[in-house]
Amino acid sequence: MKVLANDGISKTGELALKEAGYEVLPNRVAQDHVINFINENNVDILLVRSATKVRQDMIDACPSLKIIGRGGIGMDNIDVDYAKSKGIKVINTPNASSKSVAELVFGHFFALARFLHESNRLMPLEGETHFDAMKKSFSKAYELSGKTLGVIGFGSIGQEVVKMGIALGMKIKVLTKTPKTKVLTLDFFDGQTLNFEITSTNDMDAFLKDTDFISINTPKTNEYIIDTPQFEKMKDGVYIVNTARGGVINEVTLIDFIESEKVAGAALDVFENEPKPELPLLMNPALSLSPHVGGNTIDAQEKIGAELAEQIIKLQKETIR
């Protein structure tokens, strides 16, 4: 069977597929030419990340496709239900990149709470002439320990964010559409574990009240989760990080509430207008920004490739039975 990993695959995943007898094509094909390439090469399995879009027209035009795999969690770039209706298996890797995304959340939280994003920008420009002034300005910082962490979404990434917050000594709130109770296990280097039972709420007002740090970890939504009514109910001086999807938070309104100082700082790894974020976002000193790299670590990519390969091989074995 032929595999086109159009947005790339780790060496671990590629090797596992080859050892199982799959032919992994090395090509990276432009979106407009993917359909022709699949048909000309009789591709059975298409693997993508976020760059390649797999819509109804491609699914209809490529009868050889048997599996579509998404390296990552969100599958908004794939018409999943339609593919399944055509008998195509659709898989993703819900666990492989969760830790990497969660660590980026806290990277941004630390940057915001300690002004690291601003300090890194200004020190090369003014460190020699305004060192004392910057030292005074950046001293109005906060610890995360003892603060309240609010996590929107309780999937694999949200759970990792919660566990990291617990490890830092933060108080925890979780918001979901319906209340859920989950037992989370913290694993330590020496083999010890600790279990924590966390119950989420679906009460947005209660969730926002007194929350110091908010992390958004949901799938793509058709409407804003955070807009003017939600900002107005937040604690003064709140910090917000969005590593979910562009469009879950109103970016224009976010700027307004930053300028009013209701929001002390925010971080965005995803944007409503990718790959060209709006200039007011890029230029705002209260924002810590990254270019949609939540799952882009060497560790996560290796795990993503391995998880995709494992699922593909398992699916083939089940089909043979």
Fold designation for 98-289: Rossmann fold (3.40.50)
Mean pLDDT of 286-296: 96
Regarding the domain with residue range 2-94+298-320, which homologous superfamily does it belong to in the CATH classification?
A: NAD(P)-binding Rossmann-like Domain (3.40.50.720)
Mean pLDDT of 199-227: 97
Phi, psi of 201 (to 5 degrees): -125, 155
If you search the block for the tokens 């009514």, which residue do you land on?
Answer: 229
Q: Per the structure block, which two tokens stand in for 69?
A: 């795999």
Q: Which residue has the higher pLDDT, 220 or 181?
A: 181
Query: Is 274 among the catalytic positions?
Result: yes
Query: Is 40 among the catalytic positions?
Result: no
The yes-or-no verdict on residue 320 having pLDDT over 70 is no
Mean pLDDT of 227-236: 98
Query: Which of 263-301 are b and which e, b meaning 16 or more Cβ less than 10 Å from the residue's Cβ?
Result: bbbbbbbbbbeeeebeeebeebebbbbbebebbbbeebb
235-282 pLDDT, tens per residue? 999 999 999 999 999 999 999 999 999 999 999 999 999 999 999 999
> What percent of the chain stands above pLDDT 90?
96
Q: What is the pLDDT of residue 183?
A: 98
**Distance between CA 262 and CA 135 in Å, rounded?**
24
**Distance between CA 229 and CA 232 in Å, rounded?**
5
**Distance between CA 225 and CA 138 in Å, rounded?**
31
Instruction: Please tell me what DSSP assigns to residue 33.
Output: G
Q: What is the pLDDT of residue 122?
A: 95
CB of 53 closer than 8 Å to CB of 77? yes
| Maximum alpha-carbon separation in the chain | 73
For 153: left if phi > 0, alpha if psi spans -120 to 50, otherwise beta; the answer is left
Q: 278, 292, 302, 310: which is the annotated catalytic residue?
A: 292
The yes-or-no verdict on residue 228 having pLDDT over 60 is yes
Mean pLDDT of 293-316: 96
CA dist 128 to 120, 131, 140, 276, Å? 13, 6, 21, 33
For 237: left if phi > 0, alpha if psi spans -120 to 50, otherwise beta; the answer is left
Q: 274, 310, 318, 321: which is the annotated catalytic residue?
A: 274
CB atoms within 10 A of CB 119: 15
Strand-strand pairing, 213-216 and 171-175: unpaired
Q: 14, 70, 245, 251: which is the annotated catalytic residue?
A: 245
Phi, psi of 179 (to 5 degrees): -60, 140
The yes-or-no verdict on residue 321 having pLDDT over 60 is no
**DSSP helix/strand/coil, 48:** strand
Query: Is 245 among the catalytic positions?
Result: yes
CB of 60 closer than 8 Å to CB of 39? no
Task: Check for a shared fold between 2-94+298-320 and 98-289.
Answer: yes
Residue 218's H or E segment, with its range, is none
Q: Per the structure block, which two tokens stand in for 207?
A: 């969730």
Q: Where are the domains of the chain?
A: 2-94+298-320, 98-289
The yes-or-no verdict on residue 112 having pLDDT over 70 is yes
